[in-house]
Amino acid sequence: MVGKELLLIGMLMGVTHDEVTCLADNMYFEARNQSLAGMLAVSNVVMNRVADERYPDTICEVVQEGPTRPSWKDKNKFIPVRNKCQFSWYCDGKSDEPSDVETYDTIYGMAQDMLYQNMPYLDITDGATHYHADYITPSWAYTKTRTVEIEDHIFYRWEYNDDK
């Protein structure tokens, strides 16, 4: 992979509980209604961004990426700007507590297995760094290389020769 020297196995040796939680949260809120392939594809995008020098270096930083502003309750606390995050659930103003605990527990176990190497890591998105639901077409979609469609998500790779 161009950019950061990433040997996924080596990077994952230092995984924390927070990183597992961030990945599980993103899988839950972005793909809980999808098959294993849909959840894996969403997690692939997060991991591909961690591996890409154009994005933050950790799972949590990737999942929580977006502009922030001071809280009106505490000017020393910064909160995400509503509807401006990379992953919409993180700053949509809704609760970030999973409502379906059984499904979340299953997804959390899957995130643990992925990050602690209890299952083989397979990128089924061919390096995708972006995705969107199939019922919308964001303006950025025309500047990325489409890689695969899995259920109701379309995945794209941001090529290194493309600075958009």
pLDDT tens per residue across span 14-57: 788 899 999 999 999 999 999 999 999 999 999 999 999 999 99
Residue pLDDT, tens place only, 104-160: 999 999 999 999 888 888 899 999 999 999 999 999 999 999 999 999 999 999 998
Does residue 147 fall inside a structural domain? yes
Residue 52 lies in a domain: yes
CA 89, distance to chain mean position in Å, is 11
Domain that holds residue 87: 8-157
Which tokens go with 47?
Answer: 């991991």
For 2, 100, 153, the CA distances from 156, given in Å and listed in that order, are: 17, 29, 10
- Number of Cβ within 10 Å of residue 20's Cβ equals 20
Count of C-beta atoms within a 10 Å radius of residue 122: 9
Whether residue 163 lies inside any domain: the answer is no
What is the model's pTM? 0.84
Q: How far apart, in whole angstroms, are the C-alpha atoms of residue 88 and residue 21? A: 17
Q: Establish if 127 belongs to a structural domain.
A: yes
State the total domains in the chain.
1
Domain annotation covers residue 50: yes
In a domain, 2, yes or no: no
Q: What angle do CA 6, 106, 123 make, to 5 degrees?
A: 30
Q: CA geometry: angle at 118 spanning 128 and 17, to 5°?
A: 80
